[in-house]
Structure 1
């Protein structure tokens, strides 16, 4: 399965592993075809973005 990232720092990318800060889109229940793969949308959440920024500050 391929994830299409929506919003956030990686908007528009196609990835095979769901990165931190992204969650599956509940509004798109059916995977869409992309070449020979099925794709699902993964969306960026502001709450996750705030947590990501605070984790970077601690480093």
Structure 2
């Protein structure tokens, strides 16, 4: 079974990600997973001067 930690550890913003079939609803991922990957992409942005993330 793939965990959220597994997906985030393998995540690269410029590379397509394979979302496990059990994690989808119809043809889209659940909002929580999409939000988690979006936050991870923002955290991986080293060159940008981003404000502190206080909520998502």
Query: Structure 2-normalised TM-score?
Result: 0.32
Structure with more of its chain in strand, by fraction: 1
Query: Structure 1-normalised TM-score?
Result: 0.31
Structure with more of its chain in helix, by fraction: 2
